[in-house]
Amino acid sequence: NAGVTQTPKFQVLKTGQSMTLQCAQDMNHEYMSWYRQDPGMGLRLIHYSVGAGITDQGEVPNGYNVSRSTTEDFPLRLLSAAPSQTSVYFCASRGRFDFTEAFFGQGTRLTVV
Amino acid sequence: KQEVTQIPAALSVPEGENLVLNCSFTDSAIYNLQWFRQDPGKGLTSLLLIQSSQREQTSGRLNASLDKSSGRSTLYIAASQPGDSATYLCALSRDSNYQLIWGAGTKLIIKP
């Protein structure tokens, strides 16, 4: 049972480059989301999805795109990387009902130079 | 706007002590609250989930309580061990959609 799988674990980008962070879950969870974690701050929600074909913006969506073509996958795209996007990114998933806990991937440490 | 605060930011205690980590929030209209553990360079592991209608949840040496009227949740760790050293984060959900609002965490060090 793999849970939530994120790739890559580490990435260095040059300013202006684009890339996609991959996230996949095998628990048939409806809800998926992307967070970024910066030092001294709590996690901040970037985008989330409540089901295939449905996405919405979180607290800090600028500079990021998402899509949800399948229940399993929820990729995060950085359109034109900026140093301010240097962070650790986490993908999470949860089932529909309120008593289900959230499961997180291992994170992607992204550095933009 | 809902804000979640965890104080202290860091805590160091000798092995064997019982300890309490605090999480406070400004709006009592929450859906549920979850405690997580984060080890350096690792992802987050869910420890306990408390529904808004519940007062506490227990798992092994861990007990989490929720008092919505005072805007507080506590995570009680009994008989602490060096392996408990990690950062502990609380996060709450304000509705049935997946939007967690996070505290900045408490970094816990258990000294052998």
Burial class (CB in 10 A: 0-12, 13-18, 19+), A14: exposed
B51 vs A50, A99, A102: nearest CB: A99
A42 vs B45, B99, B102: nearest CB: B102
Half-sphere exposure of A24 (CA within 13 A, CB side): 7
pLDDT digits (tens, 9 = 90+) for B52-79: 899 999 999 999 999 999 999 999 999 9
Of the pLDDT bands very low, low, confident and very high (cuts 50, 70, 90), residue A42 is confident
B100 vs A102, A103, A106: nearest CB: A102
pLDDT at site B31 = 84
Look at chain A and count its residues.
113
Instruction: Say yes or no: A10 contacts chain B, CB-CB below 8 A.
Output: no
pLDDT digits (tens, 9 = 90+) for A25-34: 999 999 999 9
Interface test with B, best of A30, A36, A68, A101 (most B CBs within 10 A): A101
CA distances B20 to A96, B8, B73, B76, B82, Å, are 31, 10, 10, 5, 16
